[in-house]
Amino acid sequence: MQQSLVLSLISMFAVLGLSACASSPNAGTERYRTAQDYAPPRTPTAAELFPLTPRLEPLSQRGNLPYQVNGQAYSVRDTAEGYFAEGIASWYGKKFHGHLTSNGEFYDMYSLSAAHKTLPLPSWVRVTNLNNNKSVIVRVNDRGPFHAERIIDLSFSAAYALDMHLHGTAPVRVEAIEFDQPTPVSTQQTYIQVAAARELNNLEALRLRLQEIYDLDATTRVHQGLNRLILGPFDDRQTIYWMNRLQADGFEGIFRLPQERL
């Protein structure tokens, strides 16, 4: 029953010719100075290998929404709690050093950091090399690796700490670091724009159906002569959940809308 209601909602969206007005992100194929990745000219210092102390952090405003890479869709977990996986780890180095990570920080190959496809950013995980039982705690602040058989991409220092830096990959166990307190959330409320239209009547029926199916607050706002259908407000974790849910139900082109952009 729920699925049929969602399908009718998507059909209404298409028949009314509504637009989500989302722009496609730049793939950034020319952002790196070199085509091949390689190790840095020196090994990490003792200070760079000093164990990190995990700390509670709010979710990043960037890098925590559903995304696509090479035609593959990825849904971001709304929490790292309970995450456990075994698989292949790889590492990335000088090619990416100094470039932006997915949550808007700068990648430092000498930091103890990592990239993961679906963990919320930032997250903290313990990675254990199953070949030698060496472990390291890393902060996940980037997306990747986009190879089906790999589960995490480590910074060069993290790979060095696991004694896998001379190899491209190693079998690992990845376990989320959990805290006694819930993840702090930003005080800024966020909205999700579902559709936009010149004529308000085209949005009204869709707004009522959205409220009926999802039991969410759905409103319309006028911005520069365009009526926008908006869901929310949400906190950080709710935003991740509903972006994943709506995209899984077939809504394409929806996007996160910070409160100041209403």
pLDDT, tens digit, for every residue of 141-188? 999 999 888 999 999 999 999 999 999 899 999 999 999 887 776 677
Asked whether the predicted pLDDT for residue 29 surpasses 80, the reply is no
Least confident of 33-37, 126-130, 240-244: 33-37
* 221 token code pair: 């706002």
Predicted local confidence at residue 17, as pLDDT? 54
Give the DSSP letter string of 18-48. -B--PPPPP--TT-SS-SS----SSPPPTTT
pLDDT, tens digit, for every residue of 33-78? 555 776 888 999 999 999 999 999 999 988 999 999 999 999 999 8
- Other beta carbons within 10 Å of 173: 18
Q: How far apart are CA 215 and CA 5, in angstroms?
A: 13
Give the DSSP letter string of 151-181. EEEEEHHHHHHTT-TTSSEEEEEEEE---SS
Helix (H) or strand (E) segment spanning residue 16:
none
Helix (H) or strand (E) segment spanning residue 237:
helix 236-248
**Total-model pTM:** 0.77
The sheet that has 190-197: what strands, in order across it? 218-223, 226-234, 190-197, 255-258
What one-letter code names the amino acid at 71? G
Q: Which domains does the chain have, with CATH numbers?
A: 2-24+185-261 (3.30.70.1070), 67-176 (2.40.40.10)
Helix (H) or strand (E) segment spanning residue 15:
helix 2-15
pLDDT, tens digit, for every residue of 218-230? 999 988 888 999 9
